Amino acid sequence: MADFSRCTAIVTGASRGIGLAIAQAILDGGGSVCITARREAELESALETLGAGDRAIAVAGASDDAAHRADAVRRTLDAFGSLDALVNNAATNPLYGPVIEADSDGVRKILEVNVLAPQAWTQEVWRAWMSERGGVVLNIASVSGIAVEPNLGAYGVSKAALIHLTRQLALELAPGVRVNALAPAVVKTRFARALYEDREELIARAYPLGRLGVPEDIAAAAAYLLSPDAAWVTGQTLVLDGGASLTSLLGADPF
């Protein structure tokens, strides 16, 4: 288990799924967390699930809202006195279909939440803490940002941009701040439910490891990249796909 006893983190989009699992991993390692999401009731339920007492706080708001970002950073510093890690997990995908037919407002919203917000969150924590004291940033991207998919094009474009943003920020913020990303394939969360619901067994056949991902799979990889064990790792995107990309090289499309 990674040692997070000296770590305070903000995890966005953490009321459930991958974000909640990452927050749990940090707490299990002795750290403190601020979880954010849009709905206050869901955050309160998440805090009960985490069961971490005064080592966890929640701040409700939209990830792409500047006032919310500033409030979350301020309240984290007030509560814990440091801000050592940022996990940009919040994402949206209101569109399904060809990019050429996509509604411009929908594409704009995807880019605002999935690309511009992570940049702004990183800027906020950099200015408030990490520029002088260092830290680590982890962006949750997707295999959609690496492999072309027929009906998730706008989402894929945003995740491809997030992967490049990861590399850019890793260069700019070194040596004090490490910046990495994770690129999961289909993970069993409410966010991804439409991709596997009622056909999970069929989709899982395309994965050499024989199953879809679960939030804990992603949290385990996140714990490594956030921890001192990854002290010489920055600018990297770790693909977590159960081996699915191996079969795609043979002409199949497992995603």
- Residues tagged active-site: 155
H or E element, residue 178: strand 177-184
Token pair of 19 as six digits: 């974000």
Query: For residue 38, which phi and psi values (nearest 5 degrees)?
Result: -75, -35
Cβ-Cβ contacts under 8 Å for 48 (sequence gap 6 or more): none
What does the alpha-carbon distance between residue 128 and residue 222 come to, in Å, rounded to a whole number? Answer: 23
Selection from 109, 73, 70, 92 nearest residue 13 by Cα: 92
Token pair of 27 as six digits: 């707490």
Cβ-Cβ contacts under 8 Å for 232 (sequence gap 6 or more): none
What does the alpha-carbon distance between residue 87 and residue 84 come to, in Å, rounded to a whole number? Answer: 10
Selection from 204, 20, 202, 42 nearest residue 34 by Cα: 20
Token pair of 115 as six digits: 């690309």
Per-residue burial over 188-208, b if 16 or more Cβ lie within 10 Å, else e, is: bbeebeebbeeeeeebbebbe
